[in-house]
Amino acid sequence: MHTHRLTRLALVAAAIAFAACAKDKSGTNNGAATDSPTGNVSANAPAAKPAAPSDADIVAYLDVANMTDSANGKLASTKGTSADVKNYGKMMMGEHHTLRDAGKAFAKQKNITPNPAGGDSTLQKAQATMQSLQSQQQGAAWDKAYIDGEVQTHEQVLSNAKTAHDQTKDADLKALIEKATPVIQKHLDRAREIQQKLGKSAT
């Protein structure tokens, strides 16, 4: 069913950059470690702890999340049939655009290039989400799929933002996340309200 496929794509698009950066930096060898001068490998040695995402990774993650939600919101504002969905889309388009601009200003101030971890795959997933939204027929099922995806995506973004806040040492980046967090929470709360009106998708 298109609804479940769309929800999964939206969630992946929102989370892939943040999840990929630690994996890319871990440098582990399947948990194996050399524990003697002869080079014998101990299978029982603990795996190296994945590296925390850098500030550039965090900024890149937030940028992709804001870009995706703003673009999907623009589509919802025109393709949605429910007034609630249309208005929600307009809010996403405007407020995520503002959040993205704040992230860009921070990156410029700190001379950070926010390249998404994992290369182009993040943008490819975001594009896949948009294509799925564009291809699905307009109607109640589309509205439901969009809102279900927004609930799951904002839950993931909120969780990752809180994790990023705890991991970064940069006070300015912490402040940026602190300003964004209540906005993300507001979006999640409103999406849940609309989801209740439309009816939750079957699990």
pLDDT at position 82, please? 96
Nearest 10 degrees: Cα torsion 130, 21, 168, 172: -40
Q: How far apart are CA 36 and CA 57, in angstroms?
A: 36
Query: Are 22 and 50 contacting, i.e. CB atoms less than 8 angstroms apart?
Result: yes
Q: Which domains does the chain have, with CATH numbers?
A: 2-198 (1.20.1260.10)
pLDDT at position 47, please? 56
- Eight-class DSSP state of 82: S
Q: Of 121-125, 126-130, 134-138, where does the model show the most confidence?
A: 134-138
Secondary structure of residue 34 in the 3-state scheme? strand
Q: Which pair of tokens denotes residue 181? A: 């967090």
pLDDT tens digits along 145-195:
899 989 988 998 999 999 999 999 999 999 999 999 999 999 999 999 999
